[in-house]
Amino acid sequence: MTPYLVCYSSQTGTSKKLAVDFAHEIEQTIDHDRIPTEENMFEVKNISEIEKPEDLSCWILICFFISSYGDGEQCSDGEQFYNSLRHLENDFFKKRGKQCEFTMFGCGNSLYDSYQGAANNIQKELSRLSFHEIGKFGKGDDGCNMLMEDYDEWKLDTISLLQKLLKFPLVQRTNEYISQFEVTESDEAEAVLFDKSTGPPYHEDNPFFARIKNIEVLTNNEFDVKKVVRVSFDLEQKKTNLRYTTGDHIAVYPSNSESDVRSFLKLVGLWHKRNQIVRIIPVGHSIRPFYPIPCSYFNICKYYLEINASPSRKMIHFIANTFTEDDAAKQSLVNMTSNAETFAKNVTSRHLTISKLLEPLGYKNFNIPITFFMESFGKLKPRYYSISSSSLEFSDMVDMTVSLDKDSDSHFEGVFSKELERILDDKRTSEICQIDTRLPIFMETSKFRLPINSKKPILLICAGVGVAPFRAFIREIALKSKNAEISKIYLYYGLRRQDEDFLYFEELNEIKKKLDGMLEVNIAESRGAGPKVYVQNLLERDRIQNW
Ligand SMILES: Cc1cc2nc3c(=O)[nH]c(=O)nc-3n(C[C@H](O)[C@H](O)[C@H](O)COP(=O)(O)O)c2cc1C
């Protein structure tokens, strides 16, 4: 067992990514030749892997990375841990003569009322149990695109504090880049991509390649600026045993577009070698390979590496000082990173990818090894969506409703949005209007559920594509209405223009007729011919109603 633990709780992977990075960075500062251990000293674990909170005293120090969900609540992987923690008596660890220390970094979004609720709650409980907190409580704010900035600043302070307290023998750091990977070219056959032969159970590390049964555009605007599509997947349940409950989430692994892969491989000088099979093996223990070995450069970049991730200020600063000898290019990057606000304005808020950022400075002026990006960007993350079908109605099929992320001003397009656009194009051009595409998916359970057997009215409030899970709930209630008494549903739905982006218009009208007064649809139109109306205006109007 290692003496130090880095423990994360995460819904969509941000905290996990930071925890892995933190362990990796601190390991890099330790001179392992002068310390009698063969393994790394910082182990990374998901919070759900800690069987009981009493076990926390096994480690000298625990560095927590905790994300908040719901209304300042724990992510699903952290719920059980937090509940058990709350049941321990005051000063639990002190009374047992244990001296335990922790650091805390929370991931949250300041637009939520309970900003950092989950991290705050764990911190409070640990202090009550006489865990001693070291350093500053770090808070990463996703709300103003500052999460990575906040993290980098906290990391710098925390690592130097831990170095002093734990008295590690330190390696001398320079601007020199030392790769954490060993790269060898190979003439072997490529390993199977996303091993399709692995059967159930399907999960994040073993997604199911689901066939797209149907894809349709739900919006109706001339220039398709805000396009929303419904995608239906065949779950092939008899074979896969994949199940979901209405209100759950579906996660999809997108792949990077060929043009993005081309730009990226040109940047790292490997486009001409794109089909070369390579073995890229991590040297230390802190990074695990997230791609098959051996694999071609092209496939690593297309299916596994997050090449469109947002570059951090620290990363660009390092590139300026380490990977270019061109003074003009260097100076331009140094200016860009001079302070957090300039960087956020010029890079982060413009959604610049690394290829787009460096292209105007000339790819030939940089000599950046692909391994640097493998360390910095990591694995292509799955994208999570609310399921918009009812499992009671269709157990063998799952629908999701996706708004395609496209910003014509900054030329930004989301990775999955681009892929869906391509699939729509393929469908349009194929003669029989059919699609033959499979995408890697898995299911994620959630706490978002209809009340059980309640006769109370149900109030559903949403805007735009937020109607997705409500469509599933409404369809489910309509199905139940055949055999049972149901609650009255009030839907408050904000949209821009009824004739353009009223998603599921016909479906909702049909259900409304069928439910005979038990579904009330209230539309707030913000860009229609009349005055701007938002859902809050309708709620204010109807607040006297007896919901
Ligand atoms: C549905 C939802 C609810 C959220 N609720 C909160 C919240 O109550 N408080 C908060 O500080 N952040 C909240 N967040 C923001 C996330 O904590 C933040 O984006 C974080 O970086 C996600 O980390 P993860 O990828 O590790 O799950 C919420 C995000 C989502 C999508």
For residue 224, what pLDDT is reported?
61
Percent composition of the chain: helix, strand, coil (DSSP 3-state, to 5): 35, 20, 40
Based on the fold, state whether residues 357 and 484 are members of the same structural domain.
no
**pLDDT digits over 14-64, tens only?**
999 899 989 988 888 888 777 766 667 889 999 999 999 999 999 999 999
Residue 383 lies inside a defined structural domain of this protein: no
Q: Which residue among 166, 187, 213 closes a domain? A: 166
Q: Cα of 10 to ligand 1 centre, how many Å? A: 9
Q: Which residue among 377, 407, 422 closes a domain? A: 377
Based on the fold, state whether residues 8 and 155 are members of the same structural domain.
yes
String of DSSP letters for 103-133 = EEEEEE-TTSTTTTHHHHHHHHHHHHTTPEE
For residue 327, what pLDDT is reported?
96
- Give the CATH number of the domain where residue 361 resides: 1.20.990.10
For residue 223, what pLDDT is reported?
64
**pLDDT digits over 130-187, tens only?**
999 999 999 999 987 789 889 999 998 999 899 888 888 877 666 788 888 999 999 9
For residue 434, what pLDDT is reported?
62
- Give the CATH number of the domain where residue 125 resides: 3.40.50.360
Q: Cα of 160 to ligand 1 centre, how many Å? A: 28
**pLDDT digits over 422-446, tens only?**
999 888 876 555 667 899 999 999 8
Q: Which residues lie closer than 8 Å to 370 by C-beta, 6 or more apart?
A: 183, 268, 270, 297, 300
pLDDT over 80 (residue 1): no
Residue 27 lies inside a defined structural domain of this protein: yes
Residue 409 pLDDT level (bands cut at 50, 70, 90) = low
- ipTM associated with this complex: 0.99
**pLDDT digits over 497-528, tens only?**
999 999 999 999 999 999 999 999 999 999 99
The separation between CA 303 and the C-alpha centre of its own chain, rounded to angstroms, equals: 16
Domain that holds residue 350: 260-377
- Which mutation among 7, 22, 69 tests ligand 1's pocket best, with the greatest number of atoms within 8 A of CB? 69
Residue 480 pLDDT level (bands cut at 50, 70, 90) = very high
Q: Cα of 78 to ligand 1 centre, how many Å? A: 13
pLDDT over 80 (residue 356): yes
Residue 196 pLDDT level (bands cut at 50, 70, 90) = low
Dihedral sign (CA 523, 526, 527, 531) = positive
Based on the fold, state whether residues 364 and 472 are members of the same structural domain.
no
- Which mutation among 15, 109, 248, 446 tests ligand 1's pocket best, with the greatest number of atoms within 8 A of CB? 109
Q: Cα of 12 to ligand 1 centre, how many Å? A: 9
Q: Cα of 67 to ligand 1 centre, how many Å? A: 6
Ligand 1: residue whose CA is nearest its atom 27? 11
* DSSP 8-state symbol, 170: B
Residue 128 lies inside a defined structural domain of this protein: yes
pTM: 0.81
> By C-alpha distance, which of 207, 215, 186 is closest to 423?
215
Residue 180 lies inside a defined structural domain of this protein: no
Based on the fold, state whether residues 153 and 266 are members of the same structural domain.
no
Based on the fold, state whether residues 43 and 158 are members of the same structural domain.
yes
Among 97-101, 399-403, 416-420, the minimum mean pLDDT is found in: 97-101
Q: Cα of 441 to ligand 1 centre, how many Å? A: 22
For residue 547, what pLDDT is reported?
60
The separation between CA 98 and the C-alpha centre of its own chain, rounded to angstroms, equals: 36
Ligand 1: residue whose CA is nearest its atom 16? 108
Calpha distance 218→230 (Å, rounded):
7
Q: Which residue among 342, 377, 412 closes a domain? A: 377
Based on the fold, state whether residues 147 and 277 are members of the same structural domain.
no
Ligand 1: residue whose CA is nearest its atom 28? 69
Based on the fold, state whether residues 27 and 142 are members of the same structural domain.
yes
For residue 426, what pLDDT is reported?
86
Instruction: Identify which has the larger pLDDT, 547 or 273.
Output: 273
For ligand 1, what atom is nearest to the CA of residue 11? 27
Q: Which residues lie closer than 8 Å to 274 by C-beta, 6 or more apart?
A: 261, 265, 296, 297, 298
Phi, psi of 186, rounded to the nearest 5 degrees:
-140, 155
Based on the fold, state whether residues 16 and 140 are members of the same structural domain.
yes
Average pLDDT over residues 261-269: 98
Residue 106 lies inside a defined structural domain of this protein: yes
Residue 243 lies inside a defined structural domain of this protein: no
Instruction: Identify which has the larger pLDDT, 197 or 55.
Output: 55
How many domains does one find in the chain? Answer: 3
Based on the fold, state whether residues 162 and 68 are members of the same structural domain.
yes
Based on the fold, state whether residues 145 and 54 are members of the same structural domain.
yes
Average pLDDT over residues 348-368: 95
Residue 201 lies inside a defined structural domain of this protein: no
Exposure letters 233-242 (e unless 16+ CB within 10 A, then b): bebeeeebeb
Average pLDDT over residues 92-115: 92
**pLDDT digits over 295-333, tens only?**
999 999 999 999 999 899 889 999 999 999 999 999 999
DSSP run (H or E) holding 60: none
For residue 178, what pLDDT is reported?
84
Q: Cα of 80 to ligand 1 centre, how many Å? A: 18
Calpha distance 7→48 (Å, rounded):
9
Based on the fold, state whether residues 33 and 162 are members of the same structural domain.
yes
Pocket of ligand 1 from Cβ distances under 6 Å: 10-15, 67-72, 75, 107-109, 112, 114-117, 142, 147
Calpha distance 349→336 (Å, rounded):
13
For residue 294, what pLDDT is reported?
94
Calpha distance 123→137 (Å, rounded):
9
Based on the fold, state whether residues 153 and 268 are members of the same structural domain.
no
SS (HEC) of 371-409: HHHHHHHCECCCEEEEECCCCCCCCCEEEEEEECCEECC
Residue 209 lies inside a defined structural domain of this protein: no
- Give the CATH number of the domain where residue 483 resides: 3.40.50.80
